[in-house]
Structure 1
Amino acid sequence: MKIGFVGLGSMGAAIAKNLIESGHEVQVFNRSPARAEPLREAGASVASSPAQAALSADAVFTMVADDAAHEAVTFGEAGIATTLKPGALHISMSTISVATAQDHAAKYREAGLALVSAPVFGRPDAAAARKLFIMAAGADEHLKVAVPLLETLGQSVGIVGNDPSQANLVKLIGNFMLSVIIETLGEACAVAGKAGIDPMHLVELLTSANFNAPPYKIYGSLIASQQFQPPGFSLPLGQKDNRLMLAAAEALGVPLPLASLVHDRFLTLRSQGLGAEHDWSAVALCALSDAGLSNLLHGG
């Protein structure tokens, strides 16, 4: 299959490489051209714009950072929608707002174009290992094309519904839940540390019992060891997803007290100068710092 791929960050590059290795004819684009060179060496061709990547594609994937980037690569002057051929499919794997996903889906329907939202759960190592959990939503006829491709990229594909924005909402809900787990682990490690219990031993004990699940193991280890660099998922991206979750909930009239707490944690970290060089699990630093167990918020 001829595939375009737009957005070659750590997640996008890993997914695009897997598509190449699956035998597809892949053309890639990234705003920073240097990011495309390893994929050129792996067998991809390099497009000069999102429009060129979509021009002859049967399916074009996007994996970009935020709403503004998604708008630019989709509906910009050289965007995907300007050249996507009838019958071809845009598979958006980006974590974007529900409102933007709804707007883009409506524009695609009006233009007679096909869109599937397929955001993912998993960090770059999971993307490289084809271990992503993928949430997909779109019209049935579009999902019939998208799902076989997505199944080669992850360990499961969950079908959310017929409205692409539903998958984006589920992704935001999932990241909200992960952020609460991070906050909980930070508070738990703070209590254990003050009591003289090694936080890493605490994590090992609990993840061998009731909390034997990947988020607790992955983030528990990072938090107990205070290893927040390099980022697997950066602090600003986590903050962005928290903001989008709060906006989606407000539009639905649903209060989210825990998301509001995490929102304040993000603001505290950013005011102390932490940014893209830190993993979003650094949210736990607030609880650790409050307990006097970390001075990383103050340059230590």
Structure 2
Amino acid sequence: MDRVGFVGLGTMGRPMVRRLLAAGHRVMVWNRSRPAVEELCAEGAEAAADLAEVFELPVVMSALSDDVSVRSLILDSGVLDGAGCRVHVNLATMSADFAAEAAQQHAQRGIGYVAAPVLGRAEVAAAGKLNVLAAGDPAALALARPVLEPLAGRIWELGDDPSRANVVKIAANFLLASAIEATAEATSLVESYGIDASAFVELISSTVFPGPVYSTYGGLMAERRYEPPGFTARLGLKDVNLALSAAHQHDVALPTGSLVRDALLEALAVGWSEHDWAVLAEVARRRAGR
């Protein structure tokens, strides 16, 4: 059980694999592009010939970007058919409906499924301090815990329905998006009066809004530093849309969500899709004519 398969070596996937290697796990990796595989193999990982080889391992973790990529690579590819995997730990932020479908498809093949999206940027992953939101069958969670612990400051177990973990992650990202948009607008306001944005961010993050959200994103806005992205505007739009969709299914109004969605759409329209979603500050500045 010390052998782990890992699929998806993006911004979050690579530091996660490094944490697993440091914890003594033998990690077989697969990624659509080769450079990330070669980078991690130089640090002790093993390259998989294909996805089927990964899913022969007892525990597989995946950190893919969205429903579409998980569906095409894992659910619809046939890779689960006859796989030797005992549990698949999906670290991605997915829609609630897709989480339920994925759990059902895994169960039909005798494979445990754990939804385990995470809270934290790449530097938090590298430090092993992520907040992991985990849900799934208790037996599957028990198999997943040893590979989640090296990544986590805390594992929040949210029940046996995997969709719960995804809804909590969607709600958390909705709060982040709302906070980023509000900070962007406030920063634009003070700048219009000639106040230094860095001083304003220092003030709010050390008084009324202490903590990493306002200090981190406010700092990026003040410095106008959006590359390399910790989380892109494109992915932010995806998650806000997931929140709006989940709310619609339960007749819950999210009026702030519509405003943030439109701001992110504006960011994408002017070519900032792969910038950090703190680029909402530039959207606010554009509205102010600066």
Flag whether TM exceeds 0.5 (same fold). Answer: yes
**Matching residue of 1:272:** 270
2:158 match: secondary structure: strand
Which residue number in structure 1 is paired with residue 207 of structure 2? 209
Out of 98, 107, 110, which is 2:108 matched to? 110
Question: 1:178·1:215 contact (CA, 8 Å) conserved in 2?
Answer: yes
What amino acid maps onto 1:208 in structure 2? S
Amino acid at match of 1:13: R
Relative to the length of structure 1, the TM-score reads 0.92
- State the alpha-carbon separation in 1 of the partners of residues 226 and 50 from structure 2: 34
User: Which whole-Å deviations, capped at 9, do the CAs of 1:215-258 have from their partners, x for residues lacking one?
Assistant: 11100101122211221111111111111111111111111111
Backbone CA RMSD of aligned residues: 1.4
Q: Which residue of 2 aligns with 1:33?
A: 34
Equivalent pair of 1:51/1:82 in contact (CA under 8 Å):
no
Q: Which residue does 1:71 correspond to in 2?
A: 71
Corresponding residue to 1:158 among 128, 146, 156: 156
Give the deviation of 1:60 after TM superposition.
0.3
Determine which of 272, 281, 285 is the counterpart of 1:284.
Answer: 281
Q: TM-score, normalised by structure 2?
A: 0.96
In the alignment, what sits opposite 1:43? Answer: 44
Secondary structure of 1:255's counterpart equals: coil
Matches within 5 A, 1:94-109: 94-109=92-107
- SS of aligned partner of 2:28: strand
1:125 aligns with 2:126: no
% identical aligned pairs: 37
Deviation per residue, 1:174-218 (Å, 9 max, x gap)? 110000000110111111111222111011011111211111110
**193-202 or 141-150: bigger deviation:** 141-150
Checking the alignment, whether the CA contact within 8 Å between 2:99 and 2:163 is kept in structure 1 is yes
1:218-229 to 2 correspondences below 5 Å: 218-229=216-227
Contact 2:81–2:109 at 8 Å: present in 1 too? no
**Alignment partner, residue 145 of structure 1:** 143
**Superposed displacement of residue 68, structure 1:** 1.2
Match of residue 84 from structure 1: 83
Following superposition, the deviation at residue 288 of structure 1 comes to 1.9
Instruction: Tell me by how many angstroms 1:94 deviates.
Output: 0.8
Q: Which consecutive unaligned segments of at least 5 residues does structure 2 have?
A: none
- Alignment partners' CA distance in 1, 2:52 and 2:163: 23
Alpha-carbon contact 2:82-2:109 (below 8 Å) kept = no
CA distance in 2, matches of 1:125, 1:83: 37
- Output the CA distance in 1 between the equivalents of 2:223 and 2:64: 30
- What do the CA deviations read for 1:132-162 (whole angstroms, capped 9, x no partner)? 1111001112212222321211211111111
SS at structure 2 position matched to 1:212: coil
Shift of 1:78: 5.1
State whether structure 2 residue 56 is matched by structure 1 residue 59: no
Structure 1 distance, partners of 2:39, 2:78, is: 24
Q: Distance in 2 between matches of 1:78 and 1:23?
A: 31
Compare 14-23 and 143-152 and name the one that shifted more.
143-152
